[in-house]
Structure 1
């Protein structure tokens, strides 16, 4: 390769239909990146010998196709189910049904719990292969997340995980999520319980009556602290009340971006897409980066404060107008945790100064974002 000249970029293939179309269009197999495909019964490559440098990222191959691809120079990155309970090359975000599969047998039997256990074991017994699989997984999730939010107006909603179902604070966060989604925003949270769950629940609701019914159902199990299984099962019952034929990922209203770093905080079930990461740093970075329509910060503690100042760092150094940031709760952010004074001082005469606000209700926050 001559200096400054690079091969054409690889083309990600995430479905059999895309693979057939790429081959029919004459794309060289060397440019194709087959991502997490089930090729067990696929025969479109059986007679081809120009497979040198075709890249297969996980998925499932029949023994015959595996041998054929290897014999003709394909590069195969296999899944290793014995090494990890996750698919590192996955092409789609998670769903609640996927993460909570086998919940009837108890939360420890679910894929979410098994992944957390595997992650924790890796911290106790560091293994370079496990670390590599986690990094590949998180990169795949980032790619799927970018596709999920493409062409959407994303608003991030931050808030504490300890807000209990059945409380006024929980209902307020749910109303905020509903209001923002009704205005056409994709409501995005850290994907956990508490205020995050409430905002995702509200966004998923398609009417005020449905929202009220769902809030009544989840109040039966106020917290995940005593029994994650009962908490998740109750949430799934409420989610089923909100399911409508058009509430599909083709028109998403609710997105969660949780992490196994905080594995003691289970993912809520109300996000239509769940971008779950092993790396909390990457997760938080993408949560803020994708929230280009604005960020609402409800009362929270250390994790919420960290997210506020991650935003502040981005906004402080921005050379273009940053997204609006709205803190909700005068007493909380002025007195209990005096974040507002510091962030206001940081803003000074910079571009971010006109983009930050402190209000005292979720209604004020929604109205402010509507006008900005």
Structure 2
């Protein structure tokens, strides 16, 4: 049976409001144990159940006979293949202490490595793809305005080196830049790791903090400037204790780099197994532009990926590419003149900027909304 409209039901309240009419509905990750439902009268012709928990008497065969398709849970996994939400830092960090890391994040990473990391067996590979598909779906809910108030997100991606120290001048520039952009109503997205990525989410978290407050934060973080330093996570927690409430932002990390610590300053975490899906997707959702702070090979790759998306208008829009670091991008690597040459004769040539000034970068983004 073909469906003209597919309804996604990933909250129990949404399910109950259907009053038993589940025609062409996708029901995701719900637990029906203890919920009063007349399963005999349920109209689920064409419905799909993804990883749901049912009472003992409600079997897959019973639902299939009523026209539903049931995707069962895959046993023995430390992660949910059909999760209906993004991660939070509280969920990923549960179980972590300064002496022992028994966090959910670490448990999943250890499982990922034990199952072959980039070369899992066929069942593990399927489970990881299902998980990443669910993250894609939950991320879309966030960006389309179905998770937080304020409507559709205006996403700015911020890229840069994972090894950038917390006392580096560009770490501080990124914090200020992300803070100021958040004030202007933009939604910051990063790769979710340490260094520049942490700075991006930190700036969004501190969007209502003045310059003096930022200096206090920098002093706290300078005690453990690199993610390999003792006390690195504790310093981040000290900042959260000082500012327990902050602005919303997104981190998009991967267990492929699971040895890097969890970024504590993002409100939403879209963590993937597949690094390639994560990298391409992060650039794709940054519809308002991407800022490239100094980085190494990974940042260079992201620059050319973003340039390709603008060059061929892959996602039907052209958006700004801002290179934060004049010396880095015009002298040390020559990446900015390279992209300038590549863009000659194309619309996105006018959407390129290389600067060291936070205010100039913010104004450039405001003056250059996406174009088709």
- Class of the TM-score when normalised by the shorter of the 2 chains: 0.7 to 0.9
1:351 counterpart (343, 347, 354): 347
Matched, 1:33 2:26: yes
Q: Paired residue for 2:198?
A: 197
1:55 counterpart (43, 48, 58): 48
CA contact (8 A) 1:53 1:74 kept: yes
Indicate the SS of the match to 2:135.
helix
Question: Structure 1: any 5+ residue segments left out of the alignment?
Answer: none
CA contact (8 A) 2:160 2:196 kept: yes
Counterparts of 1:1-372 in structure 2, within 5 Å, are 6-23=2-19, 27=21, 29-48=22-41, 50-51=43-44, 53-66=46-59, 69=63, 72=66, 74-82=68-76, 84-104=77-97, 108-123=101-116, 126-150=120-144, 151-205=152-206, 206-208=208-210, 209-226=212-229, 230-244=231-245, 247=246, 253-318=248-313, 322-372=318-368
1:22 offset after TM fit, Å?
1.9
Cα distance in structure 2, aligned partners of 1:48 and 1:233: 54
Question: What's the TM-score once normalised by structure 1's chain length?
Answer: 0.88
The Cα offsets for residues 34-66 of structure 1, whole Å up to 9 and x where unpaired, read as 111122221224342544553221243332344
CA contact (8 A) 1:185 1:253 kept: no
CA contact (8 A) 2:81 2:134 kept: yes
How big is the alpha-carbon RMSD for the aligned residues of Structure 1 and Structure 2?
A: 2.3
Question: What's the TM-score once normalised by structure 2's chain length?
Answer: 0.88
The Cα offsets for residues 300-323 of structure 1, whole Å up to 9 and x where unpaired, read as 001111110001111111286510
Indicate the SS of the match to 2:273.
coil
Cα distance in structure 1, aligned partners of 2:30 and 2:219: 41
CA contact (8 A) 2:98 2:234 kept: no
Cα distance in structure 2, aligned partners of 1:316 and 1:69: 48
The Cα offsets for residues 248-280 of structure 1, whole Å up to 9 and x where unpaired, read as xxxx63111111122222331111111111111
1:139 offset after TM fit, Å?
0.9
CA contact (8 A) 1:321 1:352 kept: no
1:11 offset after TM fit, Å?
1.6
Indicate the SS of the match to 1:357.
strand
Indicate the SS of the match to 2:124.
helix
Cα distance in structure 2, aligned partners of 1:62 and 1:347: 59
Shift of the 41–175 alpha-carbon distance from structure 1 to 2, 3 Å rule, reads same
Question: Structure 2: any 5+ residue segments left out of the alignment?
Answer: 145-151
Q: Which moved more, 1:43-52 or 1:84-93?
A: 43-52
Cα distance in structure 2, aligned partners of 1:133 and 1:95: 21
Indicate the SS of the match to 1:44.
coil
Q: Which has the higher helix share?
A: 1
1:91 offset after TM fit, Å?
1.1
1:368 offset after TM fit, Å?
1.8
Cα distance in structure 1, aligned partners of 2:103 and 2:296: 29
CA contact (8 A) 1:51 1:73 kept: yes
1:152 offset after TM fit, Å?
1.3
CA contact (8 A) 2:250 2:268 kept: yes
1:33 offset after TM fit, Å?
1.6
Aligned residues: 356
1:287 offset after TM fit, Å?
0.9
